[in-house]
Structure 1
Amino acid sequence: MFQFILKRLGLAILVAFTVSFISFSLLFLAGDPAAALAGETASGEDIEALRHLYGFDRPMMVQYGDWLFSALRGDFGESYYFKLPVAGLIFDRLSITMTLGVCGIAFALLTAVPLGVAAAIRPNSLIDRIALFLSVAGQALPSFWFGLILVVVFSIKLGWLPPSGTATWRHFIMPTIVLGYYAMPAIMRLTRAGMLEVLSSDYIRTARAKGAPEMRVMFKHALRNAIIPVVSLAAVQMGFMLGGSIVVESIFALHGAGYLAWESIGRNDLPTVQALILIFAMFYIVFTFLADVLNAWLDPRMRSS
């Protein structure tokens, strides 16, 4: 197990450095950052002055090395627009996005996994059809439309929930449902398919033939093996929720890291955009690494392979 973790950790570090270089390069390949900062009416002298001021006239590898060395120390520079340290700016916003992401994936798992298991136990039944309907609806409903419908119904019409803000836990109920509902269909379908495959296995029939209780067969033998691909999918979905929560944060006026990314892109705030891309990518890498370790613990065959 220790060797498995070391291999996965080394791979994660390699991917992290690769992602950092690609994200840094793409922002410069997209155009001249000095011209974007100067604006359309700036003269050539103004653009050159900005290019020299921010060090854009240096070789790209030198800029990348300086940026990466500072980033490893937690220094992402100063925001061009907010005129504040990027690290502090992101740290203030990240707690909102983290709270929303954790609540969203918890809502998705606590809803989708039981529905997927119930649908697999009773295929072609009413619960199976309900799960199929929710799965199709989750894929078809745009998140921004679903969020606006919830605001109209539960905030404007009924007055049960606040439409925006982050003051109390009630402000996170509707954003959590919108964000988590998007991840539900894939988790539900994967859980159902995995349970159907596992329940037809020989060792499940053997356990039942030995007189094992049905609940033990379902949760100790069947679900433990069927949940392995769900863990990997949940890790990817969690990374997506943190990096792709821009729409949800915009609808419910949650000024988290996702909303900060949207603001920074629109204002050509290069240091903030670079830092956010790197941080969101790190979330993907960390969650994928943790999912690999958890899957290896659940299935010893992964460690031996």
Structure 2
Amino acid sequence: MIAFLIRRIGTAILVVFTVSLLAFMLVRLAGDPAAAIAGEGATPADIERIRILYGFDKPWFHTYLLWLERIFNGDLGYSPITRQDVSAMIAKALPVTLTLGGMAMLFAMMLSLPLGIIASLKPNGLVDRIVLAITVVFQAMPVFWMGLLLLLYFGLYWRLFPTGGDATLKHFVLPAAALGLFASPGLIRLTRAGMLDALASDYVRTARAKGMSEMTIVLRHTIPNAMIPVVALAAVECGTLLGGSIVIEAVFSLNGLGQLAWRAIQRLDIAVIQGVVLVVAVIYILLTLFADFLNAFLDPRIRVK
């Protein structure tokens, strides 16, 4: 188990370094960062001063190492456009995105697991066909359209929830539901497939031959084994929700990382773009690492391999 953990942690560290290098290089390849920081009305002398100030006149690997050194010291840089530290900007926006992603994943799991389990108990039956039809509808509907429908009916017509803002948890219900419905089709189908494989396995047939009740077989034997791939997909989906919430944040006026990144892209705020990409990537990698550890705990065959 220790060797398994060391291998996974080592891989995660390498991935973090790779993402940081890609984030650094892609922004540099997008154009002259000094000109972007200086703005449209800057003179060549102003651009040259900024290039020297930020170290853009030095080789790229030298600037990259300086950037990494600042990151290890907890400094993600300074935004000359907003005149704020990038760390402070991200620290203000991150709780909004984490709350939205966490509630969305909770909603998706609460919806997906029961539907996937119920659909698997009688495959190709009426309930199974209804559940599969629901997954097709949710997957085909764009997330922004889902958000607009929820906003229209639950926010404007019936006035059950706020239509925008992030002051209370109630403000996150509709955007979390929109993201959760968007993430649920894959989880439903994977839960159903895992349950069908488990129900057709030899140990389930043995348990039935011993006279165990169907409820006991489902709860004690099939669900724990069927949840192993679902856990891995849930971690990936959670990272995807965190990184892809920009549309929902715009629809519901949430000031999270998605909106922060979008405004930074519009203003070519390089330091903010790099900081947001790095933070989202680290969160995504940590979620994947947690899923690996949890899967290894649930299934000893994974850590043995």
Same fold (TM over 0.5): yes
1:169 corresponding residue in structure 2: 169
C-alpha separation in 2, matches of 1:85 and 1:207: 61
2:289 corresponding residue in structure 1: 289
2:148 corresponding residue in structure 1: 148
How many positions carry a matched residue from both structures?
A: 305
C-alpha separation in 1, matches of 2:123 and 2:81: 56
Contact 2:113–2:187 (CA<8 Å) still a contact in 1? yes
Matches within 5 A, 1:112-127: 112-127=112-127
Contact 2:37–2:81 (CA<8 Å) still a contact in 1? no
Amino acid at match of 1:204: V
Amino acid at match of 1:180: G
Matches within 5 A, 1:15-26: 15-26=15-26
Contact 1:80–1:270 (CA<8 Å) still a contact in 2? no
Percent identity between matched residues is 49
Matches within 5 A, 1:243-258: 243-258=243-258
C-alpha separation in 2, matches of 1:63 and 1:192: 50
> What is the deviation of 1:41?
4.6
C-alpha separation in 2, matches of 1:91 and 1:41: 31
2:109 corresponding residue in structure 1: 109
1:95 corresponding residue in structure 2: 95
C-alpha separation in 1, matches of 2:191 and 2:137: 17
Contact 1:155–1:162 (CA<8 Å) still a contact in 2? yes
Matches within 5 A, 1:116-265: 116-265=116-265
How big is each residue's C-alpha offset from its partner over 1:50-72, in whole Å with a ceiling of 9 and x where there is no partner? 21222211111111111111112
C-alpha separation in 2, matches of 1:187 and 1:64: 39
Q: Secondary structure at the match of 2:120?
A: helix
C-alpha separation in 1, matches of 2:116 and 2:45: 63
Contact 2:79–2:86 (CA<8 Å) still a contact in 1? yes
Structure 1 gap ranges (5+): none
> What is the deviation of 1:45?
2.9
Q: Which moved more, 1:208-217 or 1:224-233?
A: 208-217
Amino acid at match of 2:88: G
Q: Secondary structure at the match of 1:137?
A: helix
How big is each residue's C-alpha offset from its partner over 1:92-131, in whole Å with a ceiling of 9 and x where there is no partner? 1100100111100111011101101110111122321221
**Residue 74 of structure 2 corresponds to residue 54 of structure 1:** no
C-alpha separation in 2, matches of 1:293 and 1:220: 21
C-alpha separation in 2, matches of 1:187 and 1:202: 25
Structure 2 gap ranges (5+): none
How big is each residue's C-alpha offset from its partner over 1:195-221, in whole Å with a ceiling of 9 and x where there is no partner? 111111111100111122322211221
2:279 corresponding residue in structure 1: 279
Amino acid at match of 1:278: L
How big is each residue's C-alpha offset from its partner over 1:122-178, in whole Å with a ceiling of 9 and x where there is no partner? 112232122112211111111111111111111221111110011222111100101
Contact 2:122–2:128 (CA<8 Å) still a contact in 1? yes
Contact 2:36–2:269 (CA<8 Å) still a contact in 1? no
> What is the deviation of 1:229?
0.9
Q: Which moved more, 1:148-157 or 1:90-99?
A: 148-157
- Identify if the C-alpha distance between structure 1 residues 47 and 20 changes in structure 2 by more than 3 Å, giving closer, same or farther: same
C-alpha separation in 2, matches of 1:51 and 1:167: 40
Q: Secondary structure at the match of 1:227?
A: helix
Amino acid at match of 2:113: V
> What is the deviation of 1:244?
0.9
Q: Which moved more, 1:103-112 or 1:35-44?
A: 35-44
> What is the deviation of 1:235?
0.6
> What is the deviation of 1:40?
4.1
Contact 2:165–2:171 (CA<8 Å) still a contact in 1? yes
> What is the deviation of 1:194?
1.2
Give the aligned CA root-mean-square deviation in angstroms.
1.2
2:10 corresponding residue in structure 1: 10
C-alpha separation in 2, matches of 1:156 and 1:103: 22
1:302 corresponding residue in structure 2: 302
C-alpha separation in 2, matches of 1:7 and 1:14: 11
Q: Secondary structure at the match of 2:57?
A: coil
